């Protein structure tokens, strides 16, 4: 039994916050943000909520998979910004979509949340427990950003990405994956209950590059492929300089990396599913392509997944 990716969808808020707008809010410049991070603008949820962004993305993913909500038997949500302490965002989405059966839960793994969710869904599908999983990465980070802290407020954005994965009796699209965490490093990136995002950026930067390179090499080794075999890498969009370093370390040109950080900034758990959807829509992924997803975030958490489309 294998796991197949059958549909993707996204929703990004209407309001665009540019670097120029931020220049009027904190002591920063478009030049600093662009050269140090690669970000030009990000989306901010004003009228949108976590749930309605998730619903829009999910409806598109389910439609693209050729399914209806009633076909889903697990709603798995990766988010740092749930609307309620409980019930889970997954349960709220399950209800609002009208799934009507199965179960739902949330995963808290910060920017690696989507990679974790994909791996958990894959395991549950391959064990025969579920058949069709809706995975949603959704964030309203603008609510936990300290808009007076220039070292973090320029980095983050809001949005949602959804993916439907299903069991298949032919080959698996998901061919290798790894999840890791190191709780000893939790204070490099965190938010207290009711508090703002706090980050030790420079330290995190180095760990992010090292860990993502290692985990990417591990999944490639498990699948018996080398970096040159990878058609497209879809990395978590945290900093263009992290992505460039990863490309250099893996010996791959930037043309094999999907980048949309300039438009959305870091959307945490939503970053990879949004990028995956856009890569498919832009024709960057052909049938049979090898696609490598990798992320690193608060926890610390990190991981990678290798997909044969």
Chosen residue from 37, 58, 267, 301 binding ligand UT7 by CB under 6 A: 37
Site string for ligand UT7, 159-188 (x = CB under 6 A): ------------------------------
Q: By CB under 6 A, tell whether 38 contacts ligand UT7.
A: no
Chosen residue from 21, 30, 36, 217 binding ligand UT7 by CB under 6 A: 36
Residue closer to ligand UT7, measured from CB, 33 or 120 = 33
CB of 22 to ligand UT7, least distance (A): 8
CB of 234 to ligand UT7, least distance (A): 15
Site string for ligand UT7, 134-153 (x = CB under 6 A): ----------------xx--
Chosen residue from 239, 245, 301, 305 binding ligand UT7 by CB under 6 A: 239
- Active site residue ranges: 111, 236, 266
Chosen residue from 204, 247, 270, 291 binding ligand UT7 by CB under 6 A: 204
DSSP one-letter string for the chain: -EEEEEEEEEE--SEEEEHHHHHTTSS--HHHHHHHH---EEEE-SS--HHHHHHHHHHHHHHHTT--GGG--EEEEE-S--SSSSS-HHHHHHHHHT--SSEEEEE--GGGHHHHHHHHHHHHHHTTS-SEEEEEEEEEGGGTS-TT-HHHHTTB-EEEEEEEEEEESS--SEEEEEEEE-GGGGGGEEE-TT--EEE-HHHHHHHHHHHHHHHHHHHHHHHT--GGG-SEEEE--S-HHHHHHHHHHHT--GGGB---HHHH-B-GGGHHHHHHHHHHHTT---TT-EEEEEEEETTTEEEEEEEE-
CB of 149 to ligand UT7, least distance (A): 9
């Amino acid at each position: 039994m294998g796991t197949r990716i059958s549909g993707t969808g996204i929703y990004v808020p209407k309001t665009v916050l540019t670097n120029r707008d931020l220049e009027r809010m904190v002591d920063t410049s478009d030049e600093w943000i662009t050269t140090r991070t690669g970000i030009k603008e990000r989306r901010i949820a004003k009228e949108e909520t976590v749930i309605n962004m998730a619903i829009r993305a999910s409806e598109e993913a389910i439609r693209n998979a050729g399914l209806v909500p009633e076909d889903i038997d697990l709603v798995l949500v990766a988010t740092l910004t749930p609307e309620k302490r409980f019930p889970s965002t997954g349960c709220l989405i399950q209800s609002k979509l009208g799934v009507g059966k199965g179960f739902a839960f949330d995963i808290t793994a910060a920017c690696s949340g989507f990679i974790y969710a994909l791996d958990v869904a894959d395991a549950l599908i391959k064990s025969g427990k579920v058949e069709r999983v809706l995975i949603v990465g959704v964030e309203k980070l603008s609510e936990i950003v300290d808009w007076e802290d220039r070292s973090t407020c320029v980095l983050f954005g809001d949005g949602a990405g959804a993916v439907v994965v299903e069991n298949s009796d032919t080959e698996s699209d998901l061919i290798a994956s790894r999840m890791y965490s190191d709780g000893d490093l939790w204070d490099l990136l965190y938010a207290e209950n009711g508090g703002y995002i706090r980050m030790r950026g420079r330290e995190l930067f180095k760990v992010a590059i090292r860990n993502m390179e290692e985990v990417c090499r591990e999944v490639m080794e498990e699948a018996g492929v080398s970096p040159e075999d990878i058609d497209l890498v879809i990395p978590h969009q945290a900093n263009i300089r992290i992505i460039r370093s990863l490309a250099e370390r893996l010996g791959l040109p930037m043309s094999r990396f999907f980048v949309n950080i300039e438009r959305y900034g870091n959307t945490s758990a939503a970053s990879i599913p949004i990028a995956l959807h856009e890569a498919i829509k832009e024709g960057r992924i052909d049938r049979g392509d090898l696609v490598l997803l990798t992320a690193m975030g608060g926890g610390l958490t990190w991981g990678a997944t290798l997909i044969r489309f």
